[in-house]
A = this chain, B = another copy of it.
């Protein structure tokens, strides 16, 4: 078992990583809550909800299930969860447990952030991808005009990462999760990047998995501690996300998983970075690794103009100018404001590279 302590602007909280944690959750609750609401999705709920419920058998527990997928992060589901919480008498001294991946964490976290102006919540991530979203306190729902447009910075009370739950992940979910770890390596650690590139995702031991997840959380934790509100270094965590988010939005949420879209976004960032620096920054290596591990590498409905439009409405833009995170070297990210024209050229050369490779 590992514990990582994270200092947020409002409080410190622990990320606990280990096996069988979901059976021990109760021992870690620091106070007596008047009631507990578990929010999970259909798939995770069918696998692990009863385990969590059993450990809380002496508590006043309610549970509610959301549909699987990004589509649940909408304003209607958000309001329904408030209605459920109010109808069941949750109060300011209640706790929300977010059991699931990033979608559950973002939605349940935003409900906790705004229920009676904020109550405690605990993240119990069940995907690799959620190692990223469960740390740092970003919670949100989507708006039809953009992803994560309505939300808060609201750090959890604790994060319980039971790695056993990762054994139920599909290959696609594993791929999706590793994209963020690759991103964290590219931002901070060249050796880790090359170690990852030598790893076949289908032959991963549980120990190695824990190792990589801990690495990812450490990178994330370090950055968000220094820049919780994303004024500076936290922007680096958006490496791969400017294109990634635009692809997700334009192809319809669900066509690509978040991590698959981010992985293509990472390739795009490396494509630009290599062109500017005239150095090998790992484009070819990453491409090969993605190919070997069955990441989607071709996109049917590529529309550069539509992509640029969506990129321009990203939260990270200021004055409608697109900001890209790029690399000067592996482990050395920079933020660069780019003109639409530059982006357009790079999108076109990138797309040609993908289809001809």
> Are the C-beta atoms of B318 and A92 separated by less than 8 Å?
yes
Nearest B-chain residue to A146, judged by Cβ: B86
> Are the C-beta atoms of B114 and A318 separated by less than 8 Å?
no
Nearest B-chain residue to A34, judged by Cβ: B319
Band of interface residues on A? 35 or more
- How many copies of this chain? 2
CB distance from A33 to the nearest CB of B (A): 10
Q: Binary interface profile of A, 65-80, with partner B (CB < 8 Å = 1, else 0)?
A: 0000000000100010
Q: A151 on the interface (CB 8 Å rule)?
A: yes
Picked from B75, B118, B149, B316, the residue with its CB within 8 Å of the CB of A153 is B118
Picked from B82, B144, B229, B319, the residue with its CB within 8 Å of the CB of A91 is B319
Given A82-B143, A117-B140, A145-B86, are A317 and B91 also a contact pair (CB < 8 Å)?
Answer: yes
Nearest B-chain residue to A313, judged by Cβ: B86
> Are the C-beta atoms of B117 and A151 separated by less than 8 Å?
yes
> Are the C-beta atoms of A91 and B152 separated by less than 8 Å?
no
Q: Which residues of A contact B (CB under 8 A)?
A: 9-10, 34, 75, 79, 82-83, 86-87, 89, 91-93, 113-118, 138, 140, 143-146, 148-153, 229, 313, 315-320
Given contacts A75-B79, A114-B152, 7 further A-B contacts (CB under 8 A): A86-B143, A86-B149, A89-B313, A92-B318, A93-B318, A117-B315, A152-B152
4 closest Cβ pairs, A-B complex: A86-B145, A116-B315, A117-B151, A93-B318
